[in-house]
Structure 1
Amino acid sequence: GAPPFIAGIAIGLGIGFGLLLLGLSAIFILRRWRTDIQKQLRRKYFTKNHGLLLEQLISSNEDASERTKIFSLEELNKATNKFDHTRILGHGGHGMVYKGILSDQRVVAIKKSKVIEQGEIDQFINEVVILSQINHRNIVKLYGCCLETEVPLLVYDFVPNGSLFEILHSISTSTCSLSWDGCLRIAAQAAGALYYLHSAASISVFHRDVKSSNILLDANYTAKVSDFGSSRLVDIDQTHVTTHVQGTFGYLDPEYFRTGQLNEKSDVYSFGVMLLELLLRRKPVFMGDSGSAQSLSSYFLGEMQERPIREIVAAQVREEATEEEIVSVASLAEMCLRLQGEERPTMKEVEMSLQLLHTKRSISSHATPENGRAEASASSHSGNGADPVTTTSQRCYSLEQEFISSASLPR
């Protein structure tokens, strides 16, 4: 037989090899177990996040199934380099947005919420269902969603130039300044998108959180209305829906706040506040001269009683806009801010007024003086006779006056 030391080596090698095999098997089994656990967890989240219902909703609607995809977590991990912190586009109140590149090279924004209450999940599904039914050039495009995480992920078209809020209120000198012409165009586009949601989509949608930070701007500075998390779908023949009050402080419709009844005029009120941001270049809630928080709408309505509108608007607007444009937009804003919803214009009327102003501006910049005068006289009959700036201030009030003292300023 073999010398004892060779036999010892053989036994040692055999045991070592056996242990190595056992170790590798254990690692393989552990990995397999982890993968199975992850798969089960993803399946559990997919079911909890109404994945089956969403699949049915998408597949039952031909348009939606062409436009909306349910992504796997693996695809989105690849797109964002495992949600690398260098891919973060922004932090919102509800979570983070990451920039991603899909396998077909489309650049996307992936919204990852941090709130995990069931109500938020329902809101999320609400947003997917709404956006999968909507196709409008001034509404942000939804590519799809991922339901395999505890909190679902939304995948949007990437809109590169940030929000209207950032451009209007950024103190950074590197940020592009928006011309008055650009303001009119973006306001008309956003109004058109909201009008489409209210009355031209296959089902009425009340946005419920209209604000300048939800108006995104693409590479050409075209407006894209975004964030439908708190929107409500309403049957076309319904005039209003009773809901828990939701919205953003500074933009909230006082009538909706008081009654809990949401209708299309609630979005009109919020849009009126946004028009004031364009005119005055102030935030919806800002620090007044006294050092306390002040609501832009109540400030505007108060100042209108005291001095001419031209003195209230921002210096850049004074330089670039005509007297007629300033008065028209101020009148429109004030009508949007009326206390009684029924006295406010519809989004269609708002869009038509803004389109008319923008078109006239474009024509007059190319027109002879005679043409310019003809345009002005034609448009002077588009109002309702009396100047709403002077006649309706007494009937307007701002919800914020009721509780401004107890509120803290938004960041």
Structure 2
Amino acid sequence: MSCFSHIFKRTRRGEQQNDSFNEDLPGVQNITRFSYKELDRATARFDQSNKIGEGGYGPVYKGTLRDGTTVAVKVLSLQSRQGAREFLSELITISDISHENLVKLYGCCVEGSHKILVYNYLENNSLAQTLLGSRHSSIQFNWRTRVNICIGVAQGLAYLHDGVRPHVVHRDIKASNILLDQDLTPKISDFGLAKLLPSDVSHISTRVAGTLGYLAPEYAIRGQVTRKSDVYSFGVLLIEIVSGRCNTDTKLPYEDQILLEKTWAYYDQGQLEEIIDSSLGDDLDVDEACRFLKVGLLCTKNVTKRRPDMSTVTRMLKGEEDVESQEITKPDVIRDFRDLKLRSKATSSSLLTSIVARSSPSSSSSTGNTTRTSITFTAISDRP
């Protein structure tokens, strides 16, 4: 039976409950349900003039409900191969949690083939479209604004990692998933890839999904997702915000294309301030900006367990915990899909060789059987 044959107990405001909405959608309770007709009206029949975004999941439209509330209407594309699973994941993950730095889910529509999520509308789009986008933005991202954005995202991620049970691993922290409200308060969005991590579990082995450039190498190669995978992604994002440039720019010379590599090179040369966005004005605090960059490098350490957790990262950004005494090592970086494929293949071969050796007749614990190991990965292309 399809997971979408299970719907909600709670009726939509002011309408009689339809018989097809009598059952619960597993894992989701007490969520407002909208009819397709209402959302069709709110978005002027999903007119292209109201379209505000597009992702792998499907299009997002601006809409106005009957009570005047402006919302973002996220529609599952019928062509989205894994959208149904992501829809359910996002619904389960975000329905019962609330934080200043997370998007707010107003409700959803599950009606026939229509699967729609309704969020609060955020006026200033995403960091990818504004700070890092090719289009010139009217928003002034001065240093104090960037500080508040960095700390806000860190606080939201720390809440997901430590403030809720089970813990939530987002798996797709990136600039296009950080939305900005009218006051430029950052909101983490898009929980379609999120995983719930019980307190007594260190990691979950899963299909690799996310955005190349932000993916933690150990997760991309071995498929083991932990909260430290998000920490790596946040570290990349943090450096993007301070430098004002995307994590990958193939228009630059080869040695300058990967932001994380370039940041490390400047750090290693004692010239970390060179990576700071040159467009920043008089309110720039160079020492603070360098501290943020160092935190970004700490978050992207090649040894997973040596990365700080997000609560520690938040304190470091606020100046409540020392950064200078921390050991900063060269980050591990996956440059492109070819690099990922080669390293995944090498890891798979190494694992298989090890298992075969342990299972061989000469081994003292041999059973005579050989275990086969394979690694599958799927990565979503970068750039919103």
Smaller-chain TM-score range?
Answer: 0.7 to 0.9
Once residues 324 and 245 of structure 1 are traced to their aligned partners in structure 2, the CA distance between those partners, rounded to angstroms, is 37
2:40 aligned residue: 77
Q: Counterparts of 1:127 and 1:409 in 2: how far apart (Å)?
A: 20
Q: Deviations over 1:278-337 (max 9, x none)?
A: 121111211253379932222222333345011222213485332321221111010001
Contact 2:57/2:80, CA 8 A, preserved across alignment: no
Give the drift of 1:51. Answer: 4.6
1: CA distance, partners of 2:26 / 2:85: 19
In the other structure, the counterpart of 2:4 is: 50
Q: 2:298 aligned with 1:335, yes or no? A: yes
- 2:307 pairs with 1:385: no
Between 1:78-87 and 1:399-408, the stretch displaced more is 399-408
- For 2:103 and 2:168, locate their aligned partners in 1 and report how far apart those are by CA, in whole Å: 15
Query: Could you say what secondary structure the match of 2:72 adopts?
Result: strand
State the AA in 1 paired with 2:332: Y
* Corresponding letter in the other structure for 2:333: S
If the length of structure 2 is used for normalisation, what is the TM-score?
A: 0.79
Instruction: Return the offset for 1:154.
Output: 0.8
Stretch moving more, 279-288 or 127-136: 279-288
Query: What does the per-residue CA deviation read over 1:89-128, in whole Å, with 9 as the maximum and x for residues that have no partner?
Result: 1222332111111122211110113254564212201111
Q: Distance in 1 between matches of 2:82 and 2:119?
A: 22
In structure 2, how many angstroms separate the alpha carbons of the residues matched to 1:173 and 1:325? 26
Structure 1 letter corresponding to 2:34 = F
Structure-2 change in CA distance of 1:250 and 1:109 (3 Å): same
**What's the secondary structure of 1:320's corresponding residue?**
coil
Pairing 1:191–2:154 present: yes
1:300 maps to: 263
Q: Per the alignment, do residues 405 and 288 of structure 1 end up closer, same or farther by CA in structure 2, a change over 3 Å counting?
A: farther
Specify the structure having the higher radius of gyration (Cα). 1
The structure richer in helix per residue is 1
1:102 paired residue number: 65
Moved over 4 A (4+): 53-61, 115-118, 404-409
What's the CA shift for 1:185?
0.6
Match status 1:267 vs 2:239: no
Identity over aligned pairs, percent: 32
1:178 equivalenced with 2:141 (yes/no): yes
Choose which of 313, 323, 328 in structure 2 pairs with 1:350: 313
Give 3-state SS (helix, strand or coil) of 1:351's partner: helix
Cα distance between partner residues in 2 of 1:140 and 1:186: 14
Q: For 1:279, which of 230, 242, 251 is the aligned residue? A: 242
Match of 1:231 in 2: 194
- Please give the alpha-carbon distance, in whole angstroms, between the structure 1 residues aligned to 2:281 and 2:58: 38
d(CA) in 1 for partners of 2:137 and 2:294? 32
Structure 1 spans left out of the alignment, 5+ residues? 1-46, 357-378
Aligned-residue offset at 1:226: 0.4
Answer whether contact 2:294 2:323 (CA < 8 A) is retained. no
Instruction: Please identify, of 285-294 and 144-153, the stretch whose mean Cα deviation from structure 2 is larger.
Output: 285-294
Whole-angstrom distance in 2 between the partners of 1:57 and 1:196:
27
Q: Which amino acid aligns with 1:385?
A: S
Q: Is the contact between residue 142 and residue 156 of structure 1 (CA under 8 Å) also seen in structure 2? A: yes
Kept after mapping to 1: 8 A contact 2:3/2:26: no
TM-score (norm 1): 0.74
Question: In the alignment, does 2:91 pair up with 1:131?
Answer: no
Shift of 1:148: 1.4
Q: Which SS does the other structure have where 1:70 is aligned? A: coil
| Alpha-carbon contact 1:298-1:398 (below 8 Å) kept | yes
1:49 Cα offset (Å): 5.2
Size of the aligned set, in residue pairs, is: 333
Q: Judging changes above 3 Å, is the alpha-carbon distance between structure 1 residues 399 and 151 closer, same or farther for their aligned structure 2 residues?
A: farther
Distance 1:301 1:219, change over 3 A: same
Task: Answer yes or no: is the 8 Å Cα contact 1:285–1:410 preserved in 2.
Answer: no
The letter of the residue matching 1:397 is D
Deviations 1:194-244 (A, max 9, x none): 111111113211000001111111111111110000001121221111110
Give, as a single letter, the amino acid of the residue that structure 1 aligns with 2:71. V
1:403 to 312, 328, 338: 338
Q: Tell me how large the CA RMSD over aligned residues is.
A: 2.7
CA distance in 2, matches of 1:405, 1:211: 19
User: What amino acid is the match of 2:213?
Assistant: G
Shift of 1:161: 0.8
Contact between 2:129 and 2:135, CA under 8 Å: does it hold in 1?
no
User: Structure 2 stretches of 5 or more lacking a match?
Assistant: 10-22, 342-378
